[in-house]
Structure 1
Amino acid sequence: MKKYLLSLLGLSLFFISCSKTDDSLATQEIEEVVGSPEPEIDVTVQNFMWQTMNTYYFWQSDVPDLLDSRFSTETEYRTFLESEEDPSKFFDEKLLFSEDRFSFYSEDYKELTQSFAGISKSNGVEFGLGLFSGSNDVYGYVRYIVPNSDASTKDIKRGDIFTGVNGTTLNIDNYIDLLFGDSDTYTLNMAEIANNTVSDTDREVTLTKEANLIENPIHLTTVLEVSGKKIGYIMYNGFTNEFDEELNEAFGEFKSAGVTDLVLDLRYNPGGSVNSALLLSSMIYGTHTDQVFLKARYNEKLQSEFNDAELISYFADKTDNNTPLNTLGLNKVYILATSSSASASELVINGLDPYLDVVHIGETTTGKNEFSVTFVDDFDNGNVYSPNREDKINPDNQWAIQPLIGRNENANGFSDYTSGLVPDIFLEEDLSNLGVLGNSNEPLLAKAIAEITGTTAKMDFNVDLPVKLISSSKMFTKTKDNMFMDIKNPLPIKTKTVLQP
């Protein structure tokens, strides 16, 4: 996202005179403008939410309460803000379009922005959750362990199964409270698989969530030499721009090793930074700064204000730190993606598709083709969050919202994948044989190697216990499966009063 977007906030309804310079329209300011008694509830948060959504929200014209013509007087607007005292309900019930699956809020913007940087409170076990056939009982299976976490010191690894917490069997009604509740420490009741049957065991693993755990999204890289091919493999679990330099270094190692083919593992990657997606795609395809990677499409009110040059992002030749990109210059790439692959992961697949042969192995992806921005109560910065302006954020409002504000089209103008991107080669993960990540016998990687080399793999790709996912641990983090734009050098916004009291 570029700085031009912010200047357009002047088109929105800011119900405050041009002489006002405070960060938000707090309750006291409403009283001064309208001349009515102090409202019974503080609507600072609701006002911040409405102003932002009215300006940026992708479906702004489809939500009656967000229309520019919704309120004829400032008193009517204030009454609307007071109609729901709980800001979370106000956001969910009054501001969201019915088809919106992904916009969300946070009561603590600091916790949210730390999550985008890969910092969270976690015990280090990343897991998927599924339902047993014909039952409401839930099982969990370990996908991977975050290095340097509490779990990395415990007897738990990829492929392990658990069916209970603290002696209570997991089911569809209690798994959220037991696994994602207020308790930082819990004990997993482990199970095992034998003859394609899951059975409880006496084994227990006690885990403790630690604050400020940093996960490097570059979970694993390796070079495999098979049948005369040098195959680079990278498991990338989140588009975190704080690790863009390390990502570039990884591709530098691939390049130095003479990698001829690449397997990009996004099977557990729920998304993140659009800019990181652009950089990764450039590392794969090339530093073609004259070729379109994506075209942004905003709501009707904002779209008409932009020219084509302002809406287009091209492939890159350097990182944000001006480090030259290491690129493999491939004409074909193998991407492992599943139903847990979302947003920026899908953006890479879609963005590369016009230029090279993308072989998608796995399952149909999530289908999140919209991007978002983090907004906080910083009026003079267009309510756009900037880490350099934390002292400017309204101290009486620590809320943040992460609404969907647009869609990214590829160079061919395609963005219609709300039902997900369908794989070229369908292959589910097998609970009875998850395999070791990065090992040539791990089923999804083995399938990619077989496609690359043109040889028949020795292993059987039949899936005995397919994973039928209902959720995963990443969906209970602050960032979930979000795709966000990076707004740099935002311009101060101009207020505009259009309603008469």
Structure 2
Amino acid sequence: MKNCLPIKLFSFFFFTLFLISCENTDEPVTYEENTNEYVNDWMYNQMKRYYLWNNAIKSQGNLALDPKEYFKTLLQSEDIYSYAIHPEKPETSPKSLRSKFGFDVSFIAFEGKYYGVILYVLEDSPAKNNGLQRGQLITHIEGTELKLDNYDNLYNSMLADTQLDLKVVSYSAQSGFSNPKTVSVLQGFTFLQPIPYQVIENNNTKIGYVSIPHFDVGQAQLYLQMFQELKSKSITELVLDLRYNGGGDVSSATALSIILASNIKADDLFIKFEGNQNGGNVDQSFATALKSNESSVSFDALRNAHPGINKVYILCGKRTASASELIINNLKPYMEVITIGEKTFGKDVAGFPIVDDRNPDKRGWILYPSIYKLFNARHEGNYSKGINPEIVLNELQQPEVFALGNRSETLLQGALNRISGNTNKIKTETVQSLPLSKISTDIDPLLQIIP
């Protein structure tokens, strides 16, 4: 009888420990397919592995949330670039006037009135095909006159609409306001854009002007032909207009950089990618970055198109982002880069898309997380607040806005003045630029590095 109690107690403790050990197994929890929990658990695991700030993600949180909302809970507050989309759910995709209608707009006040200024119109876009063009001034949106207390809300309503009714007018210093008309634009697709270029002669100097709207895959051959022609015309200066370029393919941006950079070799370091403890660091030379998505044009062929310049003037602004900022930052170790305009967007991260392909018969969510920070060969980067231009200049100085490439256009005129040594200032501003709570810009999801 003396030994019964200890034996019973030992049995009880053993059984309790057995239950605890069963409850603490490391077997993963499984969720029913097509539920929010099923998707969000996958998102959580991918972000814990790849996300640049993965250590800041402490717990799974509420897996029952809508996946798009759940993804936002995993992001650092300063990360405004990462997002998730579902290819069968259009409402999950980022929206911009440029992607929906084919134009960009800003807002100004002039002589007590308020206007939306058409800044950029894509070729063969719904906007272009319905008569919108750079420099037109919007006076009414959906029949409502623009005012100080409504322009921001009207702008956001345009982002949500699938059809726009705009009342626009033209303006010139000679004739004032003229040609009022109403333009209706339906949401639609816009395809690959041309790259306009020309030679401007200014005070016996031949200046190349190139405006690139986007860095598309496979543009290296086009750059090659373009710069061979500019080189044959003996340009000695180059103005590169990237003010409306939201980024694109890194190999395309690299191809352009190879043509522009002075005295580089194929194995010179171009990009440094720095990730978390799982992703590590990746260094890419000019040749390696080019080959990541471009095989039809060689490094040597691009170098032979170098026009003999040792500096480049880059026109930039709020919509200059991603691969465009990469060019600004990563050319600096190899040549003088003179930026003219306004502070850039500030996208100094890169990554690759992560696809939920667990069900081969059904398309799943696609994550575009920030995975790497970007640096140049001198380890210069950290421009998440934007790159400040060397010459600060707002392109909206006057209500008359000239076409891109017109030597009277504000930023181009600023570049020509710098090249010629002309210290004359641009005309005094007569308009007031108005801020937006959210700038609509077709920034690419991420500069892509092949994993």
Q: TM-score, normalised by structure 1?
A: 0.72
Q: Which amino acid aligns with 2:344?
A: T
Residues 144, 38 of structure 1: alpha-carbon distance in 2 compared, 3 angstrom cutoff? closer
Residues 283, 83 of structure 1: alpha-carbon distance in 2 compared, 3 angstrom cutoff? same
Contact 1:188 1:206 in 2 (8 A): yes
SS at 1:396's partner residue?
coil
What is the match of residue 70 of structure 2? 90
What is the match of residue 152 of structure 1? 128
Residues 378, 227 of structure 1: alpha-carbon distance in 2 compared, 3 angstrom cutoff? same
Q: CA RMSD in A?
A: 3.5
Contact 1:268 1:340 in 2 (8 A): yes
Residue 369 of structure 1: how far off its partner (Å): 1.0
What is the match of residue 46 of structure 2? 52
Structure 2, gaps ≥5 residues long: 1-26
2:155 pairs with 1:180: no
Matching residue within 342, 357, 361 for 2:336: 357
Matching residue within 350, 358, 362 for 1:371: 350
2:187 pairs with 1:209: yes
Residue 188 of structure 1: how far off its partner (Å): 0.5
What is the match of residue 365 of structure 2? 399
Residue 258 of structure 1: how far off its partner (Å): 1.8
Contact 1:289 1:317 in 2 (8 A): no
What is the match of residue 280 of structure 1? 256
Q: TM-score, normalised by structure 2?
A: 0.79
- State the alpha-carbon separation in 1 of the partners of residues 38 and 219 from structure 2: 35
2:445 pairs with 1:451: no
> Any idea what the Cα deviations from partners look like across 1:72-104, whole Å, max 9, x if unmatched?
xxxxx7xx5x633300111012x1112211111
Q: Which amino acid aligns with 1:49?
A: M
Aligned residues: 408
Structure 1, gaps ≥5 residues long: 1-32, 66-76, 380-392, 491-501
Highest RCO, 1 vs 2 (Cα 8 Å, sep ≥ 6): 1
Percent identical among aligned pairs is 30
2:190 pairs with 1:190: no
What is the match of residue 41 of structure 1? 35
Residues 39, 248 of structure 1: alpha-carbon distance in 2 compared, 3 angstrom cutoff? closer
Matching residue within 479, 483, 486 for 2:446: 483
What is the match of residue 295 of structure 2? 320
> Any idea what the Cα deviations from partners look like across 1:41-100, whole Å, max 9, x if unmatched?
3533223322221111111112223xxxxxxxxxxx7xx5x633300111012x111221
Residues 482, 38 of structure 1: alpha-carbon distance in 2 compared, 3 angstrom cutoff? closer
- State the alpha-carbon separation in 1 of the partners of residues 290 and 51 from structure 2: 31
Residue 271 of structure 1: how far off its partner (Å): 1.6
Residue 285 of structure 1: how far off its partner (Å): 1.0
Residue 448 of structure 1: how far off its partner (Å): 0.9
SS at 1:46's partner residue?
helix
> Any idea what the Cα deviations from partners look like across 1:345-372, whole Å, max 9, x if unmatched?
1111110111211111111212221113
What is the match of residue 298 of structure 1? 275
- State the alpha-carbon separation in 2 of the partners of residues 343 and 371 from structure 1: 8
Residue 471 of structure 1: how far off its partner (Å): 6.9
Residue 35 of structure 1: how far off its partner (Å): 8.3
2:436 pairs with 1:470: yes
Contact 1:270 1:482 in 2 (8 A): no
Which protein has the larger Cα radius of gyration, Structure 1 or Structure 2?
2
2:381 pairs with 1:428: no
- State the alpha-carbon separation in 2 of the partners of residues 200 and 435 from structure 1: 16
Matching residue within 269, 278, 283 for 1:311: 283
Residues 51, 83 of structure 1: alpha-carbon distance in 2 compared, 3 angstrom cutoff? closer
2:326 pairs with 1:347: yes
SS at 1:43's partner residue?
helix
- State the alpha-carbon separation in 1 of the partners of residues 32 and 88 from structure 2: 28
Residue 154 of structure 1: how far off its partner (Å): 3.3
> Any idea what the Cα deviations from partners look like across 1:2-48, whole Å, max 9, x if unmatched?
xxxxxxxxxxxxxxxxxxxxxxxxxxxxxxx7688958935332233
Q: Which amino acid aligns with 1:484?
A: L
Listed as ranges, the matches of 1:157-176 within 5 Å are 157-169=133-145, 171=150, 174-176=153-155
2:201 pairs with 1:225: yes
> Any idea what the Cα deviations from partners look like across 1:401-432, whole Å, max 9, x if unmatched?
11111111111111122222111111111251
- State the alpha-carbon separation in 2 of the partners of residues 209 and 344 from structure 1: 27
2:382 pairs with 1:416: yes
Residues 394, 97 of structure 1: alpha-carbon distance in 2 compared, 3 angstrom cutoff? farther
Contact 1:164 1:188 in 2 (8 A): yes
